Amino acid sequence: DWTTGSIVEEQVAEIRARVGGRRAICALSGGVDSAVAAALVNRAIGDQLTCVYVDHGLMRRGETEQVEKDFVASTGVRLRVVDASERFLGALAGVTDPEEKRKIIGREFIRVFEQAQAELVAEAGAAGEDVAFLVQGTLYPDVVESGGGTGAANIKSHHNVGGLPEDLEFELIEPLRRLFKDEVRMVGQELGLPEEIVHRQPFPGPGLGIRIIGEVTRERLDVLRAADAIAREELTAAGLDRDIWQCPVVLLADVRSVGVQGDGRTYGHPVVLRPVSSEDAMTADWSRLPYDLLARISTRITNEVRDVNRVTLDITSKPPGTIEWE
């Protein structure tokens, strides 16, 4: 029967049998899918799995710590954190075009991850070929979308990762490829992952890099992180986390407006709140958040975040507006 417990048991047995004495690696993104996939594989093979988390410096407040502390504490997983923020920010310097930002972030991510992979393989020394598996949090909808079939034939697809010795191939382990999102969350719960990870709202891979309209700099990231943390805190306090799909906070870094704060004139930046309701992110509607909640978020952000003197609300559905601004 198709209970969450039996899915876990079946996958654990299958992964153990397949991996044997070899090793696997997994890129953790902070999202639900990679976290649950890693936890499941870790349950099966323990220390033979190494997770790699690339900190690109574009995460929201507390997110890297959540992976470093809560995820490790609840799974006992062996984790390697690569602090690559200098590198990402360097590559993003002067860039304002959204597509260019995405390309750069994607490219740097792959480079950093491959470097970590190569290091792991090198550390394994002569037995380097034993690092034979790459774990991915592919879900059933991803499989269907990419035109792949289901069943055993696809589970063994090979994946040649560039930047490594040519003859080194990784076999994919995709333990979630028959599951939908809600089933993945149940598996995560079964594996003892914390609520905050299991019920995490979607967050884009390029992170805050595509929520700063204009050039991405460390200072601007700090401003946005502070405003975003307040919005998230108030949404959580209002008990609305499960009612909304997500609520990006966007910094209009190249826009300034005049304000009056404390005892003087200011010339600061606006932030945009983008709360949306959605089933699958293909379409979305702007969430009708309670006015008193919006007022609290606005007051707190303008009081607590220097450089932000205006809070605006995005009331555009998707289409025509996308959920993210870039």
Residues that constitute the known binding site for ATP: 29-35
Min CB(34)–ligand XMP separation in Å? 11
d(CA 178, CA 133): 19
Residue 207 in the binding site for ligand XMP (CB under 6 A): no
Residue 322 in the binding site for ligand XMP (CB under 6 A): yes
Q: Taking a C-beta distance cutoff of 8 angstroms, is the pair 285, 277 a contact?
A: yes
Among 57, 175, 188, 206, binds ligand XMP (CB under 6 A): 206
Which residues ranging from 212 to 271 are in contact with ligand XMP (CB under 6 A)? 246
- CB burial of 78-109 (b: ≥16 within 10 Å; e: otherwise) equals ebebbebbebbbebbeebeeeeebbebbeebb
Q: Taking a C-beta distance cutoff of 8 angstroms, is the pair 155, 177 a contact?
A: yes
Residue number with CB closer to ligand XMP (138 or 246): 246
Contacts of 86 (CB under 8 A, 6+ apart): 57
Which residues ranging from 176 to 205 are in contact with ligand XMP (CB under 6 A)? 202, 204-205
Per-residue string for binding with ligand XMP, 25-64, x by CB under 6 A?
A: ----------------------------------------
Residue number with CB closer to ligand XMP (140 or 325): 325
Min CB(98)–ligand XMP separation in Å? 10
Which residues ranging from 87 to 116 are in contact with ligand XMP (CB under 6 A)? 102
Q: Taking a C-beta distance cutoff of 8 angstroms, is the pair 124, 131 a contact?
A: yes
d(CA 92, CA 56): 11
Q: Choose one: 57-65, 169-177, 295-303, 318-326; the region binding ligand XMP (CB under 6 A).
A: 318-326
Which residues ranging from 268 to 297 are in contact with ligand XMP (CB under 6 A)? 281
Contacts of 295 (CB under 8 A, 6+ apart): none
* DSSP secondary structure, 13-68, as one string: HHHHHHHTT-EEEEEE-SSHHHHHHHHHHHHHHGGGEEEEEEE-S-PPTTHHHIII
Q: Taking a C-beta distance cutoff of 8 angstroms, is the pair 55, 85 a contact?
A: yes
Residue 139 in the binding site for ligand XMP (CB under 6 A): no
Residue 324 in the binding site for ligand XMP (CB under 6 A): yes
Residue 318 in the binding site for ligand XMP (CB under 6 A): yes
**Residue ranges that bind ligand XMP, judged by CB under 6 A:** 102, 202, 204-206, 246, 281, 318, 322-324
